Amino acid sequence: MRLLKLVEDHIKARRLPPTRFGRDAVGDPCFVFDLRDGRQPRDKTAARVRAYIAAHSEH
């Protein structure tokens, strides 16, 4: 799944502001906005985001 869709689905389901997600997941409050603008994060950053979502998703 594309990272942006995964992030958007997570913040919608958890009702998180994009800035909170970015700050908590990767220490960058602009992260989601940058993704929306086409930013392609490094593989290591994408892995951190996926791990954060996995750890904070309701099962």
pLDDT digits (tens, 9 = 90+) for 6-47: 999 999 999 999 999 999 999 999 999 999 999 999 999 999
| Distant-in-sequence, close-in-space partners of 13: CB < 8 Å, separation ≥ 6 | 57, 58
What pLDDT is stored for residue 58 in this prediction?
A: 73
What pLDDT is stored for residue 59 in this prediction?
A: 57
What angle is formed at CA 7 by the lines to CA 2 and CA 49, rounded to 5 degrees?
A: 90
* pTM more than 0.75: yes
Distance between CA atoms of residues 32 and 22, nearest Å: 6
What is the residue range of 51's domain?
3-56
Number of domains in the chain: 1
